[in-house]
Structure 1
Amino acid sequence: MIIDTLTNAERYYGLHKNFKTAFEYLTAANLLALENGVIDIADGVKVIVSEDPGKTVESTLQKFECHNQNIDIQLCIRGHETMGWKPRADCKQVVSEYNDEKDFMFYSDKPDTYFSLKGGQFVVFFPEDVHAPMIGDGLIKKLVVKVRIN
């Protein structure tokens, strides 16, 4: 897992062949003007934009998730978003087995730690990172870049 601000995005270009494409999009786009929906920006890179009310810790832990096929770059555009995190290797309570079509698996374990993002901050979740996003009050506008691993 990585937590940082968009001003440092160039530092991560070398971590994956499509990170440069993803971060260049994030730094060039008018993020506040983006409407809810899915945007395909390149082969293996898509953006999901949403603006929704924050959720309680309890409700987000029902979908304590991880992915096998994609790396998530989750960027807070507006609002204040808290997320839970735990290493996948330490998660033992499977709620639903891996869904290959939707690329997720859910656990009911409790996060080891919580952290918060505000506008312009992002987190990168790799397949070994189980995460519970969207914890907060009020509207949270965010963007998730799905970067296909292969």
Structure 2
Amino acid sequence: MIVDTLDHLLENEAAYGDKIQRGLQFLKNTDFTGQAAGRHTVDEEMFYFINEYETKEAADCFWEAHRVNLDLHYILEGTERIGYSAIERLQVRDEYSAEKDAVFFTGAVESAVAASPGDLVICYPQDGHMTGIEAKQKEAVRKVVLKIKI
């Protein structure tokens, strides 16, 4: 898992593979203002969701990880905490679904980062992540989740 701001990651984008560099540039150069919530296609290797929700207590959120796509969580509005755990430390709740490209887990939140507008969290296949956790209070969040095929 990588946590930083989009601007910082762009300053060091040569440290990342071509696909992530392309994803960072896409996030930088796209105006998401007014785009409807839901799925949007970029090309055969990238698509994204505009997600809008209110944060919740961790007990009401869920762990997930992916095998086919990297997740780049780019916060547009609001603040949420994103839990992190290596998948080996979690217990499988629902086996991998190729249709959803997701496996779901249970487990305690031992590590989490607060992500605010401009922050970017990159989740790799080995990164169990739990999104939508309230930071200091319930809050509306609007973000882009860019999916990059690996």
Distance 2:21 2:43 in 1: 11
Mapped to 2, the partners of 1:117 and 1:87 lie a distance apart of 19
Residues 35-74 of structure 1: pairs in structure 2 closer than 5 A? 35-60=36-61, 63-74=62-73
1:66–1:106 CA contact under 8 A, matched in 2: yes
Tell me which protein shows more helix as a share of its residues: 1
Task: Say if 1:32 and 1:77, in contact at 8 Å, map to a contact too.
Answer: no
- Deviations along 1:80-111, whole A, 9 cap, x unmatched? 111111111222x2111111111111111112
- Give unmatched runs, 5+ long, in structure 2: none
Partner residue in 1 for 2:97: 99
Question: In structure 1, what is the Cα distance between the partners aligned to 2:95 and 2:13?
Answer: 31
2:13 is equivalent to residue 9 of structure 1 = no
1:142 match = 143
Asked whether the equivalents of residues 58 and 109 of structure 2 are also in contact (C-alpha less than 8 Å), the reply is no
SS of equivalent to 1:31: coil
| Counterpart contact for 1:68–1:127, Cα < 8 Å | yes
Report the 3-state secondary structure (helix = DSSP H, G, I; strand = E; otherwise coil) of the residue aligned with 2:60: helix
Report the count of equivalent residues. Answer: 146
CA RMSD of aligned residues (A): 1.4
Unaligned runs of 5+ in 1: none
Verify: 1:77 aligned to 2:76, yes or no.
yes
Q: Check whether the contact 2:70–2:123 (CA below 8 A) recurs between aligned residues.
A: yes
CA gap of 1:13–1:146, structure 2 versus 1, over 3 A, is: farther
Shift of 1:14: 4.9
Counterpart position of 2:107 = 109
Residue type at the aligned position of 2:21 = K
Percent identity at matched positions? 23
Q: Which amino acid aligns with 2:79?
A: H
TM-score by length of 1: 0.90
Whole-angstrom CA distance in 1 between matches of 2:139 and 2:54: 5
